[in-house]
Copies of this chain bind each other. A is one copy, B any other.
Amino acid sequence: MKILILGGDGYLGWPQALHFSTQGHDVFIVDSLMRRDFDAQNNFDSLIPLQPLEQRVGAWKEKTGRKINFAIGDTRDYPLLSKVMWDFQPEAIVHFAEQRTAPYSMIDREHAVFTMDNNVIGTLNVLYAIKDSCPESHLVKLGTMGEYGTPNIDIEEGFIEVTHKGRKDRLPYPKAPSSFYHLSKVHDSHNIMFACKVWGLRATDLNQGVVYGIETRQTSMDPRLATRFDYDQIYGTVLNRFCAEAVIGYPLTVYGRGGQTRGYINIQDTMSCVDLAVTHPAPCGEYRVFNQFTETFSVGQLALIAKACGEKLGLNVRIEHLDNPRVESEGHYYRAANTSLLKLGLQPHLLEDTVLVSIMKKAMEFSGRIDKNLLAPSVNWRRTKNSLSA
């Protein structure tokens, strides 16, 4: 298959590109490099050193003989996006090309506006480009479990059967997200659903849980193929951040009481889920939603698990409860459906000590690169700042 990966230089996009290339698919990457630009401008960096995209792709060719083509460009640049789609004629488009963190979107007005602009208008451009250039192409879009918030009823996969005053309908699941980032994904979902309805496009919205892990079968083949290891307060997802904190003797930073429960997924399962969505496309005109996570944990549970793992490695691990910088419930009901991907054949890699130990060992290897100043949360949901450093 011809597969276009938008955001194919990122934490998940890059290993996903390698995954599909390994399967023999023809992979084309578009990436704006905005994630790398953020690092350069703010003195952030991946814990594992990253090669530039050109070198990554070159190393992949060298190791496997497989070629991945790419273009540097932004989804907000419609002429570029449209030309790539027209020329490449992808059968599937995997869309990772979004500003992807809640804290980033809550830094200040400018970052909130950037998030809305990049994500919502970027995705609108993707929809128009598909419609105009390759209308039968299947859009596989990364959404987030955070779109649902934490309702007091079971979370279903995108839609819910509602009985109300004696009548019934199957309606979009009500959304109550808790950052401008999560909101932008809710907006995307509504826009994509509409495009499928009026233009007959087909799309799968993958509402992904929090991803952990830093290696896939492909990225571990060569250090030049490594993907990002973000441990900082803006981009670092909680479990990866805990691992980095543990190895340098920094307390595991739990926000508030730690009763916040979410869905989690191993990076290797992300690869498989996207693969399953791509190889089992939605029919034309259908917008479908899969919840993409394998287990649920509270932040407090994860801290205890990480602490135990760290101690096995001889580390002295403390847990510290910080004032919660976010506005969220710290103890709530949480039960979410995730059967669609399992039915398609997903075989989950559950969270085991070996996974955490391997992340921690990698963090140890590069512990000299950890900047402690990037660990504590500086972005406060209630009080936005004028700049990141203020």
Contacts and interface: CB of A to CB of B under 8 A. Distances in A.
Interface of A: 78, 109, 112-113, 116-117, 120-121, 124-125, 128, 131, 151-154, 160, 162-165, 167-169, 171-180, 183, 186-187, 190-191, 193-194, 197-199, 327, 333, 381-382, 384
Nearest to A333: B167
A169 B153 CA distance: 6
Contacts of A198: 178, 327, 381-382
Contacts of A125: 109, 113
Given A112-B128, A120-B120, A162 B165 contact: no
A131 B167 CA distance: 41
Given A167-B333, A177-B194, A190-B175, A113 B109 contact: no
B152 A168 contact: yes
Contact of A187 (B78, B163, B187, B384): B187
Given A113-B121, A154-B165, A198-B382, A190 B177 contact: yes
A348 B128 CA distance: 42
A152 B166 CA distance: 11
Given A116-B120, A128-B112, A174 B162 contact: yes
B174 A174 contact: yes
28 contacts: A109-B128, A112-B124, A117-B121, A131-B384, A151-B169, A152-B167, A152-B168, A153-B162, A153-B168, A153-B169, A162-B162, A171-B174, A172-B174, A172-B175, A173-B174, A174-B174, A176-B193, A177-B194, A178-B194, A178-B198, A179-B194, A180-B191, A183-B191, A183-B194, A186-B190, A197-B327, A198-B327, A198-B381
> Which of A121, A174, A199: most chain B Cβ within 10 A?
A174
This chain: copies in complex: 2
A160 B153 contact: no
Contacts of A179: 194
A154 B162 CA distance: 11
Contacts of A382: 198-199
A80 B199 CA distance: 39
Contacts of A191: 180, 183
A276 B178 CA distance: 30
Contacts of A178: 194, 197-198
A125 B175 CA distance: 22
A171 B113 CA distance: 26
Contacts of A113: 121, 124-125
A248 to B, nearest CB: 32
A183 B195 CA distance: 11
A180 B190 CA distance: 10
Q: Closest 4 interchain pairs by CB?
A: A171-B174, A152-B169, A153-B164, A187-B187
A2 B376 CA distance: 42
